[in-house]
């Protein structure tokens, strides 16, 4: 697992713009190397703001949208089209505005599919398994970039502190009783997160500062799930000043003055 690199931007707005630029550049680099790329999206405020900034960027068409797989780190178990679904936010902010291949937009199904949360998690695990290549050495693709938001309690995706989902070895899990509403969710698990080539944890706001500090310390993921947010080749902690305000200054330098 890679050691996190901390990059600090002035505020949440600059953070979303800078991450958007980074997504575009990274995707173009990966596509020029191997043709297609895979990107895992996150819900949450900064996650969706980042997608809106990608949509607004004139450079967005440098991406070959037809050769991109879109996945989610987690989803709220609500019917499709529900305004609280991470998918709905991502479609409105970005996916409805670019030429993605609908067959490569891999959504986690809601109750309107007729599936229970457990069945939906299994269906997603099957989809991941089908997409995995021998070089991924596991039941899920080794994603090129996984973006993760983080809650003030240190949760990432829908992996909340102290919950059994953190011990899960299957790639996808149904989560019940989430402390952040809605209570039922579907989430990728730590082994899949840690199998990603790059993991980018994105956080803004003072209420995240304590969790950011712990996620960079040697806390275990059981207490602070974000401490398990590490990619195989690269881990970035992309923060605004407020979210970075409790980390030792040796760890990060301000990137946007
Ligand atoms: O379904 C969700 O809510 C998310 O995927 C979740 O993991 C989110 O990214 C964090 O809670 C941060 O959310 P904020 O940026 O809104 O604080």
Distance CA 9, CA 3 (A): 20
User: How high does pLDDT run on average in the chain?
Assistant: 96
Among 19, 43, 74, residue to substitute to test ligand 1 (most atoms within 8 Å of Cβ): 43
What CATH code is carried by the domain that includes residue 39?
3.40.50.1360
Task: Please report the ipTM that was assigned to this predicted complex.
Answer: 0.96
Q: How far is the CA of 105 from the centre of ligand 1 (A)?
A: 20
- Write down the pTM of the prediction: 0.96
How many separate domains does the chain show? 1
DSSP alpha helix (H) spans, 134-254: 190-195, 209-216
Beta-bridged to residue 147, according to DSSP, are 200
The pLDDT tens digits of the residues spanning 27-68 come to 999 999 999 999 999 999 999 999 999 999 999 999 999 999
Domain that holds residue 136: 4-254
Distance CA 121, CA 126 (A): 9
Write down the pLDDT at residue 233: 97
Write down the pLDDT at residue 248: 83
Write down the pLDDT at residue 71: 98
Q: Is the CB of 50 under 6 A from ligand 1?
A: no
């Amino acid at each position: 697992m890679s050691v996190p690199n901390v990059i600090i931007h002035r505020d949440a707005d600059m953070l979303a713009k800078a991450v958007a630029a980074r997504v575009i550049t990274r995707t173009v680099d990966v596509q020029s190397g191997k043709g297609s790329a895979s990107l895992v999206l996150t819900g949450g405020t900064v996650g969706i703001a980042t997608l809106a900034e990608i949509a607004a960027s004139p450079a967005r068409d440098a991406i070959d949208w037809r050769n991109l797989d879109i996945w989610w780190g987690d989803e709220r178990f609500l019917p499709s089209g529900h305004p609280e679904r991470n998918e709905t936010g991502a479609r409105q902010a970005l996916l409805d505005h670019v030429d993605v291949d609908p067959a490569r937009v891999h959504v986690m199904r809601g109750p309107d599919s007729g599936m229970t949360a457990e069945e939906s998690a299994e269906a997603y695990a099957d989809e991941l398994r089908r997409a995995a290549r021998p070089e991924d050495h596991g039941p899920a693709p080794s994603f090129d970039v996984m973006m993760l938001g983080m809650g003030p309690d240190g949760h990432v995706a829908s992996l909340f502190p102290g919950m059994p989902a953190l011990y899960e070895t299957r790639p996808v899990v149904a989560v019940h009783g989430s402390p952040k509403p809605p209570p039922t969710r579907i989430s990728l698990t730590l082994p899949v997160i840690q199998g990603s080539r790059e993991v980018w944890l994105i956080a803004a706001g003072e209420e995240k500062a304590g969790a950011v500090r712990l996620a960079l310390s040697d806390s275990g993921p059981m207490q602070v799930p974000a401490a398990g947010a590490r990619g195989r080749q690269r881990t970035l902690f992309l923060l605004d000043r407020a979210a970075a305000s409790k980390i030792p200054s040796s760890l990060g330098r301000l990137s946007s003055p």
